[in-house]
Amino acid sequence: MGRLGLLLALAFAVLGTVPATQPARASSGPPVVYFSATGHHLAEPFLSFWRGHGGLRIFGYPISEAHEREGMLVQYFERARMEAPRTCAAVTDCPVQLTRVGALLSAERREPAFAPLVLDPSPPDTPLRRYFPETGHTLAYGFLRYWLRNGALTVFGYPISEEFREIDPETGYTFTVQYFERARFEWHPEALGTLWEVQLGRLGAALATRDGVDTAPVPRQHGVPDYDPSLFPRAFRLPVLMYHDVGEPAGRYRIPLWRLEQQLDWLFAKGYVTVSLEQAYEALLADGPLPERAVVITFDDGSRSQLAAARALATRNMTATFFVVPGRSALGPAELRELRSMGHEIGSHSMTHRMMTRLADRDVHWEAEASRRVLQEWLGEPIRFFAYPGGDWNGRVAVIVSTTGYQGGLAAWGGARWTRERRWAEPRIEIGGTISLDRFAWYVERF
């Protein structure tokens, strides 16, 4: 195969272009899958609910088969138990709900953290703290951000305790935790700003033990495939907002801080939740959770003025991704560590910001690989995502970037429709510094 043929083959693999002779896969995916890790099946109606509300990271593996219990069809997972009417076996469009495992397992707890707070009148909600009169408990800061990003009431229910310190019975380690009707949150500060900053207790497994459920592996049913996210279609609308410099005077690539704050306050008032690119790609590629009104905020180039934006975001319990050019950005190791301490995500914007379609293959590779390596040395953690300088990319450039250790790449324009086929050039929406708030709202909700 010649050089052109090799690049075309790689482009098919990386960009998802399917040759016309390849048969199309069924749009709905298989009705039942198998998990070799625990030796159990997952079928409808629980399969769709599991995939649609967070998959492995939220619920964990199935640890039992679906079976009847107390007049319901139930199935146990590491971190949850699902319930449906017993007539729903193998039926897709059936109501599924989550057992209140947190409430059941903490029913006898009498520590002060579980005592309801009586606040009358109820304090107003803020970006950093909410009070729930339904249970008399508050939810704040990182736990609030996680709750909003990963399912909120539908998945976790209301908080039924305040934050407190507890020894994990499985590991023996002490964590800051909070109990919810259907979950227990554990805070892991060493993973700040990642998907694992908050982790969920294995309450489903604890309930299975209490209920005497048989969790032994079972043989795979004939013809049932191993679970793989690629077996199922996944695409969604996700506005990814692209900013640059912050300050005066306003221009295409500079937004006044007051106008940025106005936009952030509009997002909060409309119920939007900022998510990281790590979570967005997990949702796209691995059936991870994505809130209904999710938005990603990104900043390109690494100007020092972006620190003011980062602080404005942090006061609103919001986070962003900052794409840095280590060979020329004003944000160095100390500033990037400050951004990380606020929970923001760092990505690469190349080493020197050259237009990559004009470069030879080896220079494209160097721009992507060297910037990732330098940023990882500065921060001591993985750099997962790449944004093309000036939005300048083509199939050749995307193929090369895909070989340099990233998980995905972002273009500069293209709307808000995310698909797996565009993994190495997902779209963003440019937010100029002079647009009105009405125009901003149109970009977020309709573009």
Q: State the DSSP H helix or E strand holding residue 198, giving kind and residue range, or none if neither.
A: strand 198-200
| pLDDT score of 214 | 95
| pLDDT score of 9 | 44
**Which backbone phi and psi does 42 adopt, to 5 degrees?**
-135, 120
Q: Report the C-alpha gap between 3 and 157 in whole angstroms.
A: 55
Contact 11, 17 (CB under 8 A): yes
| pLDDT score of 172 | 87
| pLDDT score of 93 | 86
Give the domains, in start order, of the chain with CATH numbers. Answer: 32-96 (no CATH), 104-211 (no CATH), 236-446 (3.20.20.370)
Alpha-carbon distances, residue 341 vs 163, 217, 315, 380 (angstroms):
21, 42, 13, 13
| pLDDT score of 170 | 78
Contact 406, 386 (CB under 8 A): yes
Name which of 192, 166, 163 is nearest 178 in CA terms.
163
Map residue 295 onto helix, strand or coil.
strand
For residue 221, the tally of other CB atoms under 10 A from its CB is 10
DSSP 41-95: EEETTHHHHHHHTTHHHHH--B-S--EEETTEEEEEBSS-EEEEEGGGTT-SS--
pTM as predicted:
0.92
Q: Report the C-alpha gap between 215 and 181 in whole angstroms.
A: 23
Contact 198, 186 (CB under 8 A): yes
Name which of 354, 381, 384 is nearest 366 in CA terms.
354
Q: Report the C-alpha gap between 105 and 81 in whole angstroms.
A: 12
Contact 204, 171 (CB under 8 A): no
Q: Report the C-alpha gap between 322 and 170 in whole angstroms.
A: 37
Residue numbers of the chain with a pLDDT score lower than 70: 1-27
| pLDDT score of 10 | 45
Contact 349, 323 (CB under 8 A): yes
| pLDDT score of 33 | 98
| pLDDT score of 171 | 83
| pLDDT score of 19 | 31
